[in-house]
Amino acid sequence: MQQHGNRGFTVWLTGLPGSGKTTIAQKLLRELKARKLKVELFDGDEVRRNLSKGLGFSKEDRDTHNKRIIYVCKLLTRNGVNAIVSLISPYRSTRAYARENLPNFVEVYLNCSVKECIKRDPKGLYKKALAGEITNMTGIQDPYEEPLTPEVLLDTEHDPSSRNVVKIIRKLESLGYIKA
């Protein structure tokens, strides 16, 4: 299958905080750059420091934050630049909006139990949420709506990130978005 026009693809990584989105996104970025592809990474935490500065974690603010990224990805991908997005993106409706607005959309669900994410807690946010110091924490007070039919399903609780990156690469190859 040929890539749709000369449009880029968007790999959209969704999952609970601590499920491994940033870890896998950075490895995938390195892997795609090594293949001389044009690619930009939009990681939730970094975008919240610039494009989405000042936004919080209400449903409305999360949607605004995600939709800003979708808009930028639309501009890039129509010019043939590929995008990796690593965002909790907890709402199905928002991810459906991304799918409708982005060509060559590849949804990747990082499946990891809340229990394991609490154990990892790379930023100490679960600890704060469980102590009631922060609210609106996805997985604790806020919902995470699991993807029902993602292009790629990763078990980030048990499988090493290196193997999961290979899984994404294989999917991009089988979809015809990158050369095998």
Ligand X SMILES: Nc1ncnc2c1ncn2[C@@H]1O[C@H](COP(=O)(O)OP(=O)(O)O)[C@@H](O)[C@H]1O
Catalogue the active-site residues: 89
| Range 55-58, long-range pairs (CB < 8 A, 24+ positions) | 56/136, 57/136, 57/137, 57/142, 58/136
Residue 139 one-letter amino acid:
G
* The only residue of 82, 138, 156, 165 in contact with ligand X, by rule CB under 6 A: 156
* The only residue of 22, 66, 77, 89 in contact with ligand X, by rule CB under 6 A: 22
Looking up tokens 């499988």 gives 159
Which residue, 112, 117, 89, 121, is CA-closest to 159?
112
Query: Which C-beta is closer to ligand X: that of 77 or that of 156?
Result: 156
Residues 49-88 contacting ligand X, CB under 6 A: none
CB of 109 to ligand X, least distance (A): 12
Query: Which C-beta is closer to Mg ion: that of 73 or that of 178?
Result: 73
Which residue, 119, 156, 126, is CA-closest to 141?
126
Q: Which residues bind Mg ion (CB under 5 A)?
A: 21-22
Chain residues binding ligand X by CB under 6 A are 15, 17-23, 120, 122, 156, 159-161
